[in-house]
Structure 1
Amino acid sequence: MNRTIKRAGTVTLLLVIALLARVTWVQMVHGEALADSDKNRRNAMERYSQPFGDIIVAGDPVTGSKPTDEGGDLKYQRTYTDGPLYAPVTGFGSQVRGWTQLEGIYRDVLDGSDDRLKSPLDLVTGKQGKPGNVLTTIDPDVQRAGYRALGHKKGAAVAIDPSNGKILGTVSTPSFDPSKITGGGEDDAAAWKKLSAEDDGDKDDTKPTLNRALRQPVPPGSTFKLVVAAAALEDGLYSSVDERTHSPDPYTLKGTSTPLENENKSAPCKNASLRTALRYSCNNVFGKLATDLGKDRVREQAEKFGFNDSKQDVPVRAAESHFPTSMDEAQTGLSGIGQFEVTATPLQMAMVSQAIAAGGELTDPHMVSQVQDSGGGTLQSFDDPDAHRVMSEDTARQLRSAMQTVVDEGTGSNAKIPGMTVGGKTGTAQHGVDNSGTPYAWFTSYGENADGKQVAVAVVVEDSDAARAEVSGNGLAAPIAKKMMAAALR
């Protein structure tokens, strides 16, 4: 045999052996990872080969499916009913941009790829099962009341049933219509560019895809005074909300010459009781309380409510609400009025009112009640969530009474609902360099009807058409909370 041909044959044989070895290695070691990769087009084709399961609100689907407008190898795309209303609940499912929130968490159930939906034969062949559904805890009346009340304002609201932790409403404005970005066409791409502020000539910097109810922690202002009041009662620093405190007015922050003054100069804040201090939102009282308790005691109470929890799942992962661990005494005083580096989501402040309303016990908030297969069988249930005690029943009872005074006689009068018991706490939080930003208007509250049914609601308005001097928790946030409470309790 010609030596050249022999060498060429040998090299070719070695190359074939190397190729076979490589293919075998890839199939045995990386085969499963490659098969499951989101970059595997066959997986996408399989996922979009049939109509999806639905996300359900009060028995009705708020999602759907339709044949893809542009055709192609992805046969179906997502649709949404009342998309802007429910976007903070559903998130979106997009052929190009992926899946978020409940759509993302339960994608395998909704597209039929979850092994629990497959028959034994499907498991062997790798065939998709029949898609399942996700049942939410959302009350459409509460959701709609919050969405309409927030209107064109930038803000968010959360409503929770204190007895079982069910989230009845999670509203974020401005919102967006997920239906406009589910496909892969030019219109979808243009809509996404505007939503994500990618188009400098026509950008939307209000971040409508941001879920402000769960994912936007901001300074909570005076609503945080409820946490400090709970710490003071639980610690025994004061035994009653009606016991007079030792609080000079103004109070000078420890180690500084800076006075902590009150917005209402005529309010009876000097040595005021906790009830009076909550009623008039006395900064001097809560600044001194936090300093007297110390940063560690206030932090301990805050963490019982859920602050500093980086894994708060409802089941969407909520952003961490933050209470700082390293502060001097002056900074601790500022933290007592919800300033310095304290931040909270509307979910977190709703949880504060939730625990107070429920007698001091906090049930894990959640917005999914069941995950079902196509026939209605239960794959997963959340009917028995975990709970833990945040404060004694007596402390919770006293705080409920003080919050009622805030609404009946104090700064939260716009939350009154005839025939119902309502308690709340207002807040106006400064932010920005030298407090240059428009203040955030807060209100956290609970309501109870004659039958004993309760709801806890927290609202934050980040921006509105109101002049800076007119921004207040009672003026902007309390009326929104009132409408959501009324919807939940009537």
Structure 2
Amino acid sequence: MNKPIRVVSVFCLVLFLALLVNSTYLMYVRADDLSDDPRNRRVITAAYSRERGAILVGNDAIARSVPSDDRYEFQRTYTQPLKYAPVTGYFSFYGQTGIERSQNAVLSGDDSRLFVTRLVDMLSNSDPQGGNVQLTIDAAAQDAAWEGLENLPGDAQGAVVALEPTTGRVLAMASTPTFDPNNLASHDFGAVADLSKELNNDPRQPLINRGIGTTLPPGSTFKLVTAAAAIESGDYDADSMVPGGFRFQLPQSTTSVGNYDGGDCGGRRITLTQALQVSCNVTFLSLANELGVEAMADQAEAFGFNSTSLEDLGGQATSLYPRDMDPPQTALSGIGQSNVTATPLQMAMVVAAIANDGDVMRPYVVDEVRAPNLSVLDRTDPETISKAISSTTADELTRMMVETVSSGTATPAQIPGVEVAGKTGTAQSTPDRPPYAWFVSFAPADEPQVAVAVLVQSSDTSRSEIAGGRLGGPIAKAVMEAVISQ
């Protein structure tokens, strides 16, 4: 063999070996990464040609795939789109959000728990089907939460989260403004791209699930955390005398802070229960200042601040209690201001822990994973995250919260014949916008079935009329009634 032919032969062999190595690398080493890459259109195209599993609330499919008359064979549809969009998210050619994303492997049929189903489909030459996801959502509670937000005046922004205190099951998660996932699931990809751009640029942020994705100052609802820290210190109980009065002088500062109504909370010395009843700023500023940033941060973190806990639904934001706050900031944190921020889910976890003898349960929204034939493949078991407070402290706080609903700022949550525990919150924002209205509660107080957090971020309500009890109380009441009446 002459030299030119030998060189060409060696070159061809090298090219063949390089091709073999590259193919092996792509097919075996990077196969999973390429398959999971959201830019992989072949995977999405294949998914569109498969019957995706249903997302269930009770016996109703709130998301399912129906036959279509185009190349993709199936169209994703949402039966109650606006009400459930923050939870279901959407399934489109360009990506997924919400449950559609977090449970994509199950819904698409690629989850390892569906191996037997896939094998049977292959042997029987049947079209593959995805598995089904059963949610923890209670339909009646979700209806009440959604209707409450919809009835707020004007183009409102807000969220409601309801938990089952003893398990962490998410019973309701509603957010407004919202969007119609049917439009994003359309096979008209040009229209989908245009709508996606419009929604992402919308200043109202309709794609955000405000229940878990929006953090704002929790205002006076955070006084429950401050009260918990005070009682846990061993120096206070519900009947302890604490500072009242008109104003509190921030430490190392020339600034003083008064009470919401400008009053003196009933005197210079009042009980801790009365302080919570009237939501006395002076009391909780004083307590946070006395306890210090470390004790306050430890208590906040025991309730779940500075971490995330909802593992089966993406889009969470972290509720924050910074440990580097100076004395004035620490005092202000006692009333849920300064650098403290929280999601409605986090504040629901706080009241759920109080309702559950101090145990913080991991929240979850996926109850069961089911095969296409609805047989149960997996079920979520309740999990305790932490012991935020002792059962004695929980009892003290419950008693205080019951008084707040009976004859304090939280009376709008009263339910005839049912003892309710609750707390209002009105968090100050920037001077050029109205405050945020919060409300947290649980019921029945002696045997809790549901804990609720309501956030009204904005609405067409005059500034003087914005209050947690006035705006959030009726919504929380409706959600609690929907659960306990079943």
TM-score by length of 1: 0.91
> What does residue range 50-129 of structure 1 map to in structure 2 within 5 Å?
50-68=50-68, 71-72=70-71, 74-96=72-94, 98-119=95-116, 122=119, 129=128
Amino acid at match of 2:47: R
Given that 1:47 and 1:113 are in contact with CA atoms closer than 8 Å, whether structure 2 keeps it comes out as no
Answer with 309-318 or 209-218: which moved more: 309-318
Shift of 1:194: 2.2
Shift of 1:211: 0.4
What is the SS of the residue equivalent to 1:62?
strand
Aligned match of 1:393: 391
Aligned match of 1:446: 442
CA distance in 1, matches of 2:9, 2:287: 83
TM-score by length of 2: 0.92
Shift of 1:471: 0.8
Amino acid at match of 1:51: E
Given that 2:437 and 2:471 are in contact with CA atoms closer than 8 Å, whether structure 1 keeps it comes out as yes
Aligned match of 1:462: 457
**Which consecutive aligned stretches of 4+ in structure 1 deviate over 6 angstroms post-superposition?**
123-128
CA distance in 2, matches of 1:426, 1:121: 52
The answer on 1:190 being equivalent to 2:197 is no
CA distance in 1, matches of 2:244, 2:405: 23
Aligned match of 1:201: none
Answer with 141-150 or 383-392: which moved more: 383-392
| Structure 2 segments unaligned to the other structure (5+ residues) | none
> What does residue range 37-436 of structure 1 map to in structure 2 within 5 Å?
37-38=36-37, 39-68=39-68, 71-72=70-71, 74-96=72-94, 98-119=95-116, 122=119, 129-151=128-150, 152-185=155-188, 186-197=190-201, 204-238=202-236, 240-247=237-244, 249-266=246-263, 267-268=265-266, 270-310=268-308, 312-316=310-314, 318-432=316-430, 435-436=431-432
Shift of 1:316: 3.4
Answer with 116-125 or 205-214: which moved more: 116-125
Given that 2:209 and 2:315 are in contact with CA atoms closer than 8 Å, whether structure 1 keeps it comes out as no
Shift of 1:248: 5.2
Amino acid at match of 1:24: L
Amino acid at match of 1:85: K
Answer with 74-83 or 439-448: which moved more: 74-83
Given that 1:414 and 1:474 are in contact with CA atoms closer than 8 Å, whether structure 2 keeps it comes out as yes
CA distance in 1, matches of 2:448, 2:398: 15
Amino acid at match of 1:215: G
Amino acid at match of 2:65: S
Shift of 1:387: 4.5
Amino acid at match of 2:170: I
The total of aligned residue pairs comes to 473
Match for residue 483 of structure 2 among 482, 485, 488: 488
Shift of 1:257: 1.8
Superposed CA RMSD in Å reads 2.3
Answer with 110-119 or 318-327: which moved more: 110-119
| Structure 1 segments unaligned to the other structure (5+ residues) | 198-203
Shift of 1:424: 0.9
CA distance in 2, matches of 1:437, 1:139: 34
Answer with 389-398 or 313-322: which moved more: 313-322
Given that 1:113 and 1:129 are in contact with CA atoms closer than 8 Å, whether structure 2 keeps it comes out as no
Deviations 1:211-242 (A, max 9, x none): 0001111110010000000000001121x211
Amino acid at match of 2:335: I
CA distance in 2, matches of 1:338, 1:150: 23
Given that 2:355 and 2:448 are in contact with CA atoms closer than 8 Å, whether structure 1 keeps it comes out as no
